[in-house]
Amino acid sequence: MNDFSTSDSGAGAVPNEPRAAVFDVDGTLADTNYLHTVAWWEALHQAGHQVPMWQIHRSIGMDSAHLLERLLGRDRRTEQDAAISAAHATLYGTWRERLPALDGARELLRTVAGRGWRVVLATSARGSELTALREAIDADDAILGATTSDDVDQGKPAPDVVESALRQAEVPPERAVFIGDTVWDIQAASRVGVPCIALLSGGISRGELIDAGAAAVYENAAALRSALDSSPLAD
């Protein structure tokens, strides 16, 4: 349940009302999904768990609690969770100074903001990770705000980060579009009633993203920018 409402009591959106473009970060704006995969694999290995990388990759985009439950099961030794998550953060942090932005990410954010959309980031990453990611993307001039797993009770696929982003943008769900790269992004957005554009840059197939409910699918941020006028982000 959310607490957003429109001022015209269902009479239709007012053209001049603000709109929000809510962006995931890992795999959508930054080429980091496989770095997370390797870091989680090593963290799990150090804790005595042998988990295939393909299974880890398909869990990227979830917050750590959901990810560990999906990979290790509910009957796992949960007292290990904090240590595994800390090991992942340490291992992933070794790439902090060279995290790569995805092709066209910076330009997409600036173009969307330039068209009057309120750009907000909504990620399952921690706040410290997002700081490094924003430095890599280098488009803070286009970003109104951001919410991370540190700011909410649950990360994706729970809708909390999406709801938080909408509150920051002061925009109701029907005036927002989410842009992500995983089925977890689509699930989180759909639970708030926000359509989701999906990108293939996170490594999830077009068919899976469509089956999960993506409103549209593009190869990457650059491809979405080139097709803005025929996308859900069209003016």
* pLDDT score, position 15: 60
Whether 193 maps to a domain, the answer reads yes
Please give the tally of structural domains in the chain.
2
Distance CA 165, CA 98 (A): 27
127: phi then psi, degrees, rounded to nearest 5: -60, -40
Output the CA angle 172-192-135, nearest 5 degrees.
Answer: 80
Whether 187 maps to a domain, the answer reads yes
pLDDT, one tens digit per residue, over 100-146 is 999 999 999 999 999 999 999 999 888 889 999 999 999 999 999 99
pLDDT band at 10 (very low <50, low <70, confident <90, very high): very low
Same domain, 71 and 133: no
CATH number at residue 113: 3.40.50.1000
Query: For residue 94, what are the contacts with CB-CB under 8 A and spacing of at least 6?
Result: none
pLDDT, averaged across the chain: 92
Higher-confidence residue: 77 or 159? 159
Domain boundary among 56, 82, 98: 98
pTM, whole model, 2 decimals?
A: 0.90
Same domain, 71 and 186: no
The per-residue b/e assignment along 204-224, b for 16 or more CB within 10 angstroms, e otherwise, is beeeebeebebbbbbebbbbb
Q: Given a cut of 70, is residue 175 above it in pLDDT?
A: yes
Same domain, 110 and 218: yes
CATH number at residue 93: 1.10.150
Instruction: Find the Cα–Cα–Cα–Cα dihedral 71, 126, 219, 210, rounded to 10°.
Output: 50
Whether 13 maps to a domain, the answer reads no
Whether 1 maps to a domain, the answer reads no
